[in-house]
């Protein structure tokens, strides 16, 4: 391969991955070229791109290099940088917004309202499943030396998304927390809920292998299969009261119903899992119990910086949720494994992160 070329992965749909040789990009004004170190696979990539292209209009996948959980080291800088420099270790916030709409000024580029300038890495602009990635300086979060690149890749989307949701409902030592859906986002919810002081964490999933991961890693105190007995088991584990806080990561109507109905009076529920629908009876399920349901989508870049600081304070490492590491030449196998949904986190790794 020529010196100015690199390998990169694309997702045409129909559960395919195509690996191509493309030119290594050059950073322009306010941009940096980053050597990829870790690029983990998000469930939304599987659901909305790998299996089939579900996005519409400006939010559709536009045949770009895939991967929106990138972390690496700056190797080249364009002119006009204000903070970052070569050799800095960085996480990339995975949405690049216009920077001047109200939501961008709040730090929520995920909710940028400018259709022309809102571009997600791995969707509308090239992402992290390549040897290098071009990023805008404004999208970068510094990665402390005490965290690995594998830690940082998960902050880029999954852990940042979870932290936002848990902050909305508030977690303390007064709370038993229920997490429904124990994929990578659900496992991250369990890990962060414990770090934030939850008195007890209960996990529920339809897949025994995912429950096993959560129990083996001591991320949950109780783990139950999602069946007809799940609600009664949760009530029994909470002395009949139900949980104070519930987090739905399933994106499934039955999972969301369980989260609502397992929550005690005055409790709070957050929906994090994407897709699907939900049906419930407002009066008995929510209104009469004085319950509050929050919706939460990704996070702000400033809150992502706070999360990084807290991970160091708490001494926890998101990389412990990674069950399978692949190099870029085996990216097809990585997506196939993630698609089966019977593992923890899966990713593509480079250099010292390829263990």
CATH (domain of 123): 3.90.180.10
Domain assignment present for 287: yes
Query: Do both 10 and 139 map to the same domain?
Result: yes
State pLDDT tens for residues 310-336: 999 999 999 999 999 999 999 999 999
Strand ranges (E), 108-205:
119-120, 132-136, 140-142, 176-180, 200-205
Instruction: State the helix-helix crossing angle for 160-169 and 301-314, rounded to 10 degrees.
Output: 90
Mean pLDDT of 23-38: 98
Q: Are the C-beta atoms of residues 55 and 48 closer than 8 Å to each other? A: yes
Domain assignment present for 179: yes
Q: How far is CA 45 from the centre of its chain?
A: 11
- Per-residue pLDDT at 1 exceeds 80: no
* Average pLDDT score, the chain: 97
Mean pLDDT of 94-101: 97
Domain assignment present for 134: yes
Domain assignment present for 303: no
pTM above 0.95, yes or no: yes
Q: Look at residue 59 in the predicted model and tell me its pLDDT.
A: 82
Query: Do both 87 and 144 map to the same domain?
Result: yes
Domain assignment present for 307: no
Query: Do both 289 and 340 map to the same domain?
Result: no
Query: Do both 206 and 82 map to the same domain?
Result: no
Query: Do both 39 and 141 map to the same domain?
Result: yes
CA Rg value for the chain:
20
Q: Look at residue 27 in the predicted model and tell me its pLDDT.
A: 98
Query: Do both 131 and 184 map to the same domain?
Result: no
- Burial letters for 65-101: b for 16+ Cβ neighbours within 10 Å, e otherwise? bbbbbbbbbbebbbeebeebeeebbbbbbbbbbbeeb
Domain assignment present for 184: yes
Query: Do both 16 and 91 map to the same domain?
Result: yes
Q: Look at residue 58 in the predicted model and tell me its pLDDT.
A: 77
Query: Do both 225 and 99 map to the same domain?
Result: no
Query: Do both 207 and 128 map to the same domain?
Result: no
Q: Are the C-beta atoms of residues 78 and 27 closer than 8 Å to each other? A: yes
How many domains, the chain? Answer: 2
Query: Do both 190 and 245 map to the same domain?
Result: yes
d(CA 215, CA 41): 22
β-pairing, 95-96 with 119-120?
antiparallel
Helix (H, G, I), strand (E, B) or coil at 202: strand
Domain assignment present for 305: no
Strand ranges (E), the chain:
5-13, 16-23, 31-40, 70-77, 89-92, 95-96, 119-120, 132-136, 140-142, 176-180, 200-205, 222-225, 243-248, 263-271, 292-295, 322-326, 345-349
Question: Which of 35-49, 51-65, 95-109 comes out lowest in average pLDDT?
Answer: 51-65
Query: Do both 41 and 89 map to the same domain?
Result: yes
State pLDDT tens for residues 235-276: 999 999 999 999 999 999 999 999 999 999 999 999 999 999
Mean pLDDT of 59-65: 94
Per cent of the chain over pLDDT 90 is 97
CATH of the domain at 284: 3.40.50.720
- Per-residue pLDDT at 194 exceeds 90: yes
d(CA 243, CA 24): 51
CA 163 vs CA 68, 187, 317, 322: distances in Å: 17, 12, 14, 18
Q: Residue 112: give the domain boundaries.
A: 5-148+317-353
Query: Do both 137 and 107 map to the same domain?
Result: yes
Domain assignment present for 310: no
Q: Look at residue 119 in the predicted model and tell me its pLDDT.
A: 97
Q: How far is CA 36 from the centre of its chain?
A: 18
């Amino acid at each position: 391969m020529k010196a100015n070329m690199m390998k990169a992965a694309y997702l045409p749909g129909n559960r395919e991955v195509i690996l191509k040789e493309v030119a290594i990009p050059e950073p322009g004004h306010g941009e940096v070229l980053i050597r990829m170190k870790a690029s983990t696979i998000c469930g939304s990539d599987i659901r909305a791109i790998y299996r089939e292209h579900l996005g519409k209009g400006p939010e559709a996948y536009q045949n770009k290099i895939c991967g929106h959980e990138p972390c690496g080291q700056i190797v080249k800088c364009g002119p006009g940088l204000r903070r970052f420099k070569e050799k800095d270790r960085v996480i990339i916030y995975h949405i690049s917004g216009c920077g001047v709409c109200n939501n961008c000024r709040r730090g929520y580029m995920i909710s940028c309202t400018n259709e022309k300038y809102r571009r997600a890495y791995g969707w509308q602009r090239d992402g992290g499943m390549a040897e290098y990635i071009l990023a805008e300086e404004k999208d970068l979060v510094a990665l402390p030396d005490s965290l690995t690149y594998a830690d940082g890749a998960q902050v880029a989307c999954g852990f940042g998304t979870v932290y936002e949701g848990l902050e909305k409902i508030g977690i303390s030592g007064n709370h038993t927390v229920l997490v429904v859906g124990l994929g990578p986002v659900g496992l991250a919810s369990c890990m962060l809920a414990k770090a934030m002081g939850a008195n007890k964490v209960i996990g529920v999933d339809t897949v025994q292998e995912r429950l096993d991961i959560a129990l083996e890693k001591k991320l949950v105190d109780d783990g139950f299969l999602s069946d007809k007995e799940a609600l009664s088991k949760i009530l029994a584990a909470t002395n009949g009261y139900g949980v104070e806080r519930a987090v739905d990561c399933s994106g499934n109507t039955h999972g969301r119903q369980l989260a609502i109905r397992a929550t005690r009076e005055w409790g709070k529920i957050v929906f994090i899992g994407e897709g699907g629908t939900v049906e419930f009876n407002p009066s008995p399920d929510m209104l009469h119990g004085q319950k509050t349901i929050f919706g939460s989508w990704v996070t702000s870049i400033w809150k992502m910086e706070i999360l990084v600081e807290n991970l160091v304070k708490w001494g926890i490492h998101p990389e412990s949720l990674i069950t399978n590491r692949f190099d870029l030449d085996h990216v097809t196998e990585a997506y196939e494994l993630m698609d089966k949904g019977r593992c923890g986190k899966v990713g593509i790794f480079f250099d010292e992160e390829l263990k």
